[in-house]
Amino acid sequence: MTAPGRLVLIGHPVAHSLSPTFQNAALRHAGIDLSYEAFDIQPARLAEAAERLRAIGACGNVTVPHKEAFAALCARLTPIAARVGAVNTFWTDDGALIGDNTDVGGFEEAVAEAFGERRKWNSVAIIGAGGAAAAVAAATERWRGSRVALWSRSAARSATLADRFANLRVAASLEAAVSEADLVVNATPLGLRRDDAVPVPVQLLATHACVFDLVYDRLETPWVLAARAAGHPAADGLGMLIGQGALAFERWFGRAPDRDVMWASVRA
Ligand code: NAP
């Protein structure tokens, strides 16, 4: 890999992202003289931005809404990025953009951290059928024996995603998707705004269900708070965000960042 000359996050919007906070804390702690910068790139300018990043030998992350489109602009994809069909981490190798996906590993790391390393998830429900749902689906595919019920408001989008993963089936309703699930994952943006509806009313959850919300908030999301109040183990997406960022750091620099430093910076 070409040594990173610039380290960037591209998305639209990006101003709200916590990634610069924890990546810059990790860079300082590791004594690496680079800063991680966020750039708001309009979708129409993505190809031009990718070419500029390639030309200067940049590394970085890609966020909403560019993950799928950026994958198509990379010269090569890692197997997991190809499986998900989306890139959240990239670097430049010999003048070529290489795309990877650390959302999958970040999700697995965060679920293990929140609910226990040895937990076996026989029945999983994924709510939402976009890029993040594809990353979660790719993770469940690596968990031997996990059956996944998928529900989203768009039947066509659910069917397209379920066609790509043999362990997924489209549920007939939200109630049916979650009724027996021992892990329920929100992969919609519901909860980004405090007045959003919850993705799954907690009374629909099985008594033993654990709840994982991909949405994150420094104050924890309304769904996580409601689930926990009803006795369900629950975690929001901050652990996944830190996990995917830490794995990306390892790809760029060949060594792990200090995750405690990353956590401390977002909690400050
Ligand atoms: P996406 O590709 O736009 O997909 C979003 C999914 O949610 C689609 O199925 C969409 O349905 C559905 N949806 C959108 N608004 C909805 C609403 N008001 N009610 C019900 N369903 C709705 O987005 P994504 O990239 O998958 O990201 C989803 C969420 O995960 C975002 O909030 C993102 O920030 C979060 N995320 C977090 C992490 C992390 O590290 N914690 C990583 C990745 C993503 P339609 O197709 O009908 O619009």
Q: Is the pLDDT of residue 1 over 70?
A: no
pLDDT value at residue 117: 87
Is the pLDDT reported for residue 4 higher than 80? Answer: no
* Per-residue model confidence as pLDDT tens digits over 219-261: 889 999 999 999 999 999 999 999 999 999 999 999 999 999 9
From 19, 126, 153, 154, the mutation candidate for ligand 1 (largest count of ligand atoms within 8 A of CB) is 153
Architecture of domain 6-101+240-267: 3-Layer(aba) Sandwich (3.40)
Catalytic residue (one of 66, 67, 232, 259): 67
Q: Please state the pTM of the whole predicted model.
A: 0.96
Name the segment(s) of the chain with CATH classification 3.40.50.720: 104-236
Torsion of CA 70, 71, 72, 78, to 10 degrees: 150
pLDDT, tens digit, 9 for 90 and up, residues 79-116: 999 999 999 999 999 999 999 999 999 999 999 999 99
> How remote is the CA of residue 21 from the centroid of ligand 1, in Å?
23
Report the separation in Å between the CA atom of 67 and the middle of ligand 1, taken as the mean of its atom positions: 12
Q: Give residue-wise pLDDT tens across range 172-222.
A: 999 999 999 999 999 999 998 888 899 999 999 999 999 999 999 878 899
Answer CATH for 104-236 from 3.40.50.720, 3.40.1640.10, 3.30.2350.10, 3.30.70.980: 3.40.50.720
Ligand 1 geometric centre to CA of 3 (Å): 33
The boundaries of every CATH 3.40.50.10860 domain in the chain are: 6-101+240-267
The side-by-side arrangement of strands in the sheet containing 76-77 is 36-40, 7-11, 59-62, 89-93, 96-100, 76-77
The stretch 153-174 carries a mean pLDDT of 97
- Residue with CA at minimum distance from ligand 1 atom 46: 154
The verdict on whether 67 is a catalytic residue reads yes
Sequence-distant (≥ 6) Cβ neighbours of residue 52 within 8 angstroms = none
Q: Rounded mean pLDDT of the chain?
A: 96
Closest residue to atom 32 of ligand 1, CA basis: 189
Q: What is the pLDDT, as a whole number, of residue 3?
A: 67
